[in-house]
Amino acid sequence: MSSLSPPPKPRRFYKEAQALPTPDGYAIQLDGRQAKTSGGHALVVPKRALADLVVAEWAAQGDALDWATMTATRFAYMAIEAGPAGRVRAVETVLGYAASDLVCYFATHPESLVARQTDVWGGLLDWALAAHRLAFVRATGVIHQGQPPETLERLEAILGQADDFTLTGLAFGAPLFGSAVLTLALAHGHVDAKAATAAARLDETFQEELWGVDPESAKRARALANDAAALEHWFRALA
């Protein structure tokens, strides 16, 4: 086998997956035994809808386990194993993207692009202010524009109140979209996965309309759309 070949996928070792209610939430069982995370923690999630997502992923596996298709399970592992240090890292990740948020940087031209950004990104910033009292400063061009300390402090407080499962989703979404604001909007149902993907790709889409779509760009767009859909399912299951 070539040293560049991917490692073999683990064999499926169970027949049935199910979720059972417990005092701590819903425990995922495989053939009647408690499933555990890679770190040895019990795989228990807080909501029935989330348990159903995880069970469906395990049930859909073939002869081998494909972790790439088990997004909810991977998120659950991360949330359960996060601990205090993991929470700190997650909060820092989201704050880092908020400090230079994609939706704060508006073009100077052409007018049609500026109008599109104002409608989509401006609407997201208006929502962040109205819904969460997060006042982001809008920049023109690509020169870094610092955000008000009080805005980042307010966001840090919001993140600090989030449970481990929600925070895991937020920390995944911020780098996915390049935007903490957009991730918050998805988490709270202000936008769906399709709209979030479109907002994150607004500049790319504008250029594609002018010059066409290349295969690599199309591939990235599909991957983004798939990840956004998985993240939307995660947030909706936690609602």
Question: Are residue 151 and residue 211 in the same domain, yes or no?
Answer: yes
Q: What are the two backbone dihedrals, phi and then psi, of residue 231, each rounded to the nearest 5 degrees?
A: -70, -40
Q: Which residues pair with 192 in a beta bridge?
A: none
pLDDT tens digit sequence for 113-148? 999 999 999 999 999 999 999 999 999 988 888 999
DSSP string, 31-48: TTEE-B-TTS-B-EES-H
CB–CB of 172/210 below 8 Å? no
Question: Are residue 45 and residue 151 in the same domain, yes or no?
Answer: no
Question: Are residue 71 and residue 154 in the same domain, yes or no?
Answer: no
Question: Are residue 155 and residue 221 in the same domain, yes or no?
Answer: yes
Question: Are residue 173 and residue 132 in the same domain, yes or no?
Answer: yes
Range of the domain at 213: 83-238
Q: 11 in a domain, yes or no?
A: no
Q: What is the CATH number of the domain that holds 39?
A: 3.30.2180.10
pLDDT tens digit sequence for 45-63? 999 999 999 999 999 999 9
Contacts of 15 (CB under 8 A, 6+ apart): 31
Q: Which residues pair with 21 in a beta bridge?
A: 26
As a whole number, mean pLDDT of residues 26-48 equals: 97
The overall average pLDDT reported for the chain is: 95
Question: Are residue 159 and residue 104 in the same domain, yes or no?
Answer: yes
Q: What is the CATH number of the domain that holds 138?
A: 1.10.3580.10
pTM given for the model: 0.94
pLDDT of residue 1: 43
pLDDT of residue 202: 98
pLDDT of residue 8: 83
CA distance 147 to 102: 12
Question: Are residue 157 and residue 103 in the same domain, yes or no?
Answer: yes
CA distance 190 to 174: 16
How many domains, in total, are found in the chain? 2
Q: 4 in a domain, yes or no?
A: no
CA distance 159 to 235: 15
3-state SS assignment for residue 205: helix
